[in-house]
Structure 1
Amino acid sequence: MLDQLRRCLKHRHCSLATVSLCVLTRWYIRFHLLRHPADMGAPEIHAFLSYLSNERGIFLSTHHQALCALLFLYKQGLQMSCPGSTSSVHGSKAGTAADCSIATGD
């Protein structure tokens, strides 16, 4: 599944830094004990983002990158709408799904 996501990112001519966001997706899958993302929903996304913020102490920008990576995973990698309401997984400063864009390389 992660290979499929990498191919999707490379097909869109994304930069190597963007392709490295697959690490966040891998963390998400491992955090939920190797469950497939198609079987998970908004509560799992919220739990993962809460873990990153509370346990790992990540910065808001990294939190936003993780959210964008997960939205990209669902919308582009799995070609399905993001499970549940994405407003339930956003922090008050995290922005909206429209703010999440994957940068393309030169």
Structure 2
Amino acid sequence: MDQLRDKVRFKCYSLSTESTYISWIKQFIIFKDERHPTEMGAAEVEKFLTYLVTRRHVSSPTQNQALSAI
């Protein structure tokens, strides 16, 4: 999470965006049985995004936000 915070702060994103991105990353990690994001690839990201649409019924902009965070 420290690497994510550093990158987000380097890009001068707001604290709100930083918090939202951290939340999405945590959800992604939990979804994939707490594996580290560096161990996962495009297939895992696609499964997570599909889950968000089919099970959580998120909107397209929300799905894009999750993808940007990941």
TM over 0.5: yes
Moved over 2 A (4+): none
Is the partner of 2:58 in helix, strand or coil?
coil
Matches within 5 A, 1:4-19: 4-19=3-18
Q: What's the % identity of the aligned pairs?
A: 39
Which runs of 5 or more residues in structure 2 are unaligned? none
The amino acid across from 1:41 in the alignment is G
After TM superposition, the score normalised by the length of structure 1 is: 0.61
Task: Please say which structure displays the higher CA radius of gyration.
Answer: 1
After TM superposition, the score normalised by the length of structure 2 is: 0.89
Q: Which digits, 9 at most, give the CA deviation of each residue in 1:42-62, with x for residues without a partner? A: 110010001111111111110
Which runs of 5 or more residues in structure 1 are unaligned? 71-106
The amino acid across from 1:68 in the alignment is S
Q: Which digits, 9 at most, give the CA deviation of each residue in 1:46-83, with x for residues without a partner? A: 1000111111111111001111111xxxxxxxxxxxxx
Q: 1:12: Cα distance to partner?
A: 2.3
Matches within 5 A, 1:87-102: none
Residue of structure 1 in register with 2:31 after alignment: 31
RMSD over equivalenced CA pairs, Å: 1.0
Higher helix share: 2
Q: Number of residues paired by the alignment?
A: 69
